[in-house]
Structure 1
Amino acid sequence: MALLAIGSAYASYEYYHSSYWHSLGLARGQPVLFSHRHHAQELGIDCRYCHASVQTAAFAGMPSTHTCMTCHSQIFTDTPMLKPVVDSARSGQPLRWTRVNSLPDHVYFDHGIHVAKGIGCTSCHGSVGKMALIAKGQPLTMRWCLDCHRDPAPHLRPEEEIFSLSWTPPSDQPRRGRELMAHYGIERSHLTNCSTCHR
């Protein structure tokens, strides 16, 4: 009986920590089949073009239909795949995107401060430039977040690389990370305080 209980506990633990439980790599249905790989990687459109408030607000923001129509009023205007965008522009009703990365209500997260302190988009969102359809790239669990909050240096980037989809840490990242912590004014002492993320 004890063996069964231990086995069940172990199986539950593994399931909870699995990529399946956290929906990693699973694309969610969206009103438009938008490819980050095509737009961000192949065309080189900067993350901030569509997610305009990512540097200043808690929420990165979703692009307005006007943002999409900046290009698509001129190119691929009659593509059936873009019909929801065209209909949205005509009606004035915004597209209803399905959230891919969501956190519990008791968690406070601010995109702006993470970007301002040198955390790149792909650190949390995964290899967005390789995703034909957007999917959750990291588990975003408390444990996952705390791993970075306890030791942010390995994850920090220079300012000019924050929005790069292809940045990889250099071989001397431990040294650079320490320098970047000083540059960004990061104090580790408060990063693991409960009130940093739970308000």
Structure 2
Amino acid sequence: MTNYARTEREALADLLLSEGPDAPTLCTGWTTRDLAAHLVVRERRPDSAVGLLIRPLAGHGEKVRLARAALPYQELIGQVRNPPVWSPVSNPLVDPLANTMEMFIHHEDVRRGGGTWEPRALPRDLEAVLWRNVKLIAKAGLRRLGVTAEIEPTGFPAIRNGAEPRVRVTGDVGELAVFFFGRQRAARVAVDGDPQIAERLRTGRLGV
């Protein structure tokens, strides 16, 4: 079976190089250099996440990321492309589980950051992997927003998080992934139903 974490990583690294260090991304306030530094720190500096658990240390992760972002850009992208085998999130045992969605979403962050893009035609088995992740993150996001919805992915069975869904969200799996990972404005999905609930879903905080 194809390791889509690897193929998405390679495609992302190629795109980061071709776009250069100052291109926009869907990550608010981050250029391509910032996004690349985030990916490298996530894999090589697990201590940078301590601020997520200990609030007084919240600035530590950003300090580590900015230091990594100061590297020469080609060196930085080389580190994105070749993660360390010892990393808790990118070693060969966990790479497909931990990084397929991560690399896909950030690949789309760069693809769509400049505003001119078209959806990709994704292999069916990649869509299946993405859909497993989307189902989990979508239900968590809908619960957080207090929204009941039916989600209808193209080519897969629909799911719902309540007996009486107030809205219906339809689209290809890749677009639903972008939508439910918090990039609603850049996703080509349809949200039908109660207008106020639909607007809450389009503008609310989704993702992790």
TM-score, structure 2 as length reference: 0.26
Q: Which has the higher Rg, Structure 1 or Structure 2?
A: 1
- Higher relative contact order (Cα pairs below 8 Å, separated by 6+ residues): 1
Higher strand proportion (structure 1 or 2): 2
Higher helix proportion (structure 1 or 2): 2
